[in-house]
Structure 1
Amino acid sequence: MGRALAGAVVAAAVAVATLTGCSLRIEEASCGGGEYPVLAVNSGGGDCVPDGEEPAQGWARYPEGKVPEKVGDEWDIYWSTHTLDENGEIIELPEGG
């Protein structure tokens, strides 16, 4: 009987979300626990580096306050069209970057 009730609760939640226009959204972290995100210098792309380690050559930390935390957040979208140059200046990626 407990499973039937749990199933009914889930079905009701999905129905309410559908009828009210709400979506059930799962946010994915940019990096796993114990890691921080880095971006490719003069190129598009990103990676994760273990906490306590410096990024490899050709990679850089995001500027303070401009670090993506979740896939699809404001900074994740911004950095899909921007990167850092070898001097640490923010530059726009060329089309198709």
Structure 2
Amino acid sequence: MSRRISQPAAASPRGRCRASAVAALASAAAVVALSGCSLAYEEDICSGGEYPVISVGGTGSACVPDGEQPPKGYTRYPEGKVPQQVDDEWDVYWRTHTLDTEGNIIDAPEAG
């Protein structure tokens, strides 16, 4: 009487592929969680080819095409204090501050 020695069946290609996909997804999730990456969307104040300006004596703002002067009643933000994205440090700051006709930073008038 001969005995057959059974060998374990090789893992199916489908099973190996599924395990690899699960491992890859778990690794990617771990990288994002550990890196502190933020997937938040940041909206620019102006589109490409434009720069932001502030209304003199108020908190209004506008975007002006590069190479053009600000319209009457508006001026450029002081250097280094230009908002770039909505809700960034300078966007929030200029909600309560403005510039007077001489370019001095002043508290914005209360909305009435």
TM-score interval for Structure 1 and Structure 2 normalised by the shorter chain: 0.7 to 0.9
Structure 2, unmatched stretches of 5+, are 1-20
Provide the aligned length of Structure 1 versus Structure 2.
83
Q: Structure 1-normalised TM-score?
A: 0.75
Percent of aligned positions with the same letter in both sequences?
Answer: 63
Runs of 4+ in 1 over 6 A off after TM superposition: none
Q: Quote how far apart the aligned CAs of 1:24 are.
A: 3.5
Pairwise CA distance, 1:95: 2.1
1:72 equivalent in structure 2? 87
Task: Write the distance in 1 (CA, Å) between the matches of 2:73 and 2:109.
Answer: 18
Residue 91 of structure 1 is matched in structure 2 by 106
Q: Structure 1: where are the runs of 5+ without partners?
A: none
Match of 1:54, as an amino acid?
A: Q
Bigger Rg, structure 1 or 2: 2
Paired position in structure 2 for 1:33: 48
Larger relative contact order, structure 1 or 2 (CA cutoff 8 Å, min sep 6):
1
